[in-house]
Amino acid sequence: MKLTKSAGLRGELSIPGDKSISHRAVMFGSLAKGTTHISNFLSGADCLSTIDCFRKMGVLIEQNGTNVTVHGNGLHGLKAPSETLDVGNSGTTTRLISGILAGQDFETVLSGDASLNKRPMGRIIKPLEQMGAKITSVNGNGCAPLKIEGTKLNATHYDSPVASAQVKSCVLLAGLYADGKTSVTEPALSRNHTELMLRSFGVKVESHDTTATITPPEEMIATDIVVPGDISSATFFIVAGLITPNSCIRLKNVGINPTRDGILRVCKDMGADVTLENVIDNGGEPTADIVVKTSKLKGTVIGGEVIPTLIDEIPVIALLAAFAEGETVIKDAAELKVKESDRIALTVDNLVKMGVDATATDDGMIIKGGNPLHGASINCKYDHRIAMTFSIAGINAEGETVIEDSECVDVSYPTFYEQLNSLQ
């Protein structure tokens, strides 16, 4: 993909469905009794991997674009797959499904693409083993492929060393099959979509501060899910609207769950002109239209408890910081090193390539704003969020920017370039 400087972005976008919520709707619908209708489903490669895995375990799932119907098999109705489950590029699919598979009465093997098979799975192997699960890293390196021999599980309490919704969700989902209440405490609250959605499927889940507790149900009951727009996807256009001169963009129907809204807090701290309209409280997963205008920005410090609420947005927040006056420090974000790529190194390297004063640190980065950007050839290492971040950089740089392997945006945002073009 080739990009050149934009004269301004104007118009409105309907942001595609939330990736985290789309994954969970398919998983929980598959385990429920009855039919779950999902609307505004994210038809991105990661969520399609989740559909594929459950189809291979005998669940009838019909997909018609953003409408998905899941004919659930019930809590104990999954069938042994006849082949390895392909989790593609998706950490969420891998870690959440592992919790479910640990409690089945059959064996499965999970494997993904080159990036996925390098990501750490020890973080789920440890708590699952504490519950009595039989789960092994086939190559003995703590990564996928994973072999999971389903078995009876013991209820447990797990103190997670990381604020990770994938780890928390894995343990809670294994808890569906445990012999009593299972709880997880995390160092800071991560996204709570699992807790909220399990409740809407009739499961008792209690949340107190950073602890979530599940009581294993007899059955889960199907329900309909309307997926809000993905705030992580919206953030590319929030940043684009703020840094591109002469811009005014309305992003419609974006999920603003407080465990996901850190970007809005950062925008406020940086002095950005971002307003929320049509705020709707959908019972736990609120939505709003986000209106963004070109702004004069100032640097800030981003760290601590806000980090899990904006973890996937950090590469593009770093770009925002490059257009702010003064220094921005991003800290407590070492988790970025174990995403689809090392997002600290790759973000900083590519920002520097485009002329930004950016330095990587052990747990984040320091960006001094104000340097003009110039075009560059960007190797995104097949990381969708890096490809989109540097596409937005490209429309704000002198000369031409080329994004290699830009098709990887399909992982979370297949219509990204179409929507970007519609604003020019």
Ligand X SMILES: O=C(O)C1=C[C@@H](OP(=O)(O)O)[C@@H](O)[C@H](O)C1
Catalytic residue flag (residue 363)? no
Residue placing its CB nearer to ligand PEP in the complex, 6 or 22: 22
DSSP characters for 312-345?
GGHHHHHHHHHTEESEEEE-S-GGGGGSSS-HHH
Mark out the alpha helices in 32-90 (DSSP H runs): 45-55
Q: Is 1 in the site for ligand X (CB under 6 A)?
A: no
Q: Which of 18, 230, 261, 312 is catalytic?
A: 312
Q: Is 191 in the site for ligand X (CB under 6 A)?
A: yes
Q: Is 166 in the site for ligand X (CB under 6 A)?
A: yes
What six digits make up the tokens of 209?
């501060």
Residue placing its CB nearer to ligand X in the complex, 98 or 396: 98
Instruction: Tell me how far apart the alpha carbons of residues 277 and 291 are, in angstroms, rounded to a whole number.
Output: 7
In whole angstroms, the minimum distance from the beta carbon of 405 to ligand PEP comes to: 16
Task: Tell me the per-residue interface mask from 12 to 31 with ligand X, x by CB under 6 A, - otherwise.
Answer: --------x-----------
Contact 230, 18 (CB under 8 A): yes
What six digits make up the tokens of 208?
């107190």
Residue 344, phi then psi, degrees to nearest 5: -70, -55
Q: Which of 165, 173, 197, 333 binds ligand X (CB under 6 A)?
A: 165
Contact 127, 170 (CB under 8 A): yes
Q: Which of 164, 182, 253, 295 binds ligand X (CB under 6 A)?
A: 164
Q: 24 a known binding residue?
A: yes
Contact 96, 169 (CB under 8 A): yes
In whole angstroms, the minimum distance from the beta carbon of 92 to ligand PEP comes to: 3
HSE of 159 in the Cβ direction (CA atoms, 13 Å)? 0
Residues making contact with ligand PEP (CB under 6 A)? 46, 90-92, 312, 339-340, 385, 412
Pick the piece of the chain touching ligand X (CB under 6 A) from 61-69, 161-169, 177-185, 388-396. 161-169
Annotated binding site for phosphoenolpyruvate: 19, 91, 119, 166, 343, 385
Note the residues at the interface with ligand X (CB under 6 A). Answer: 20, 91-92, 164-166, 169, 190-191, 311-312, 335
Q: Which segments are annotated as binding site? A: 19-20, 24, 91, 119, 164, 166, 312, 339, 343, 385
The catalytic residue positions are 312
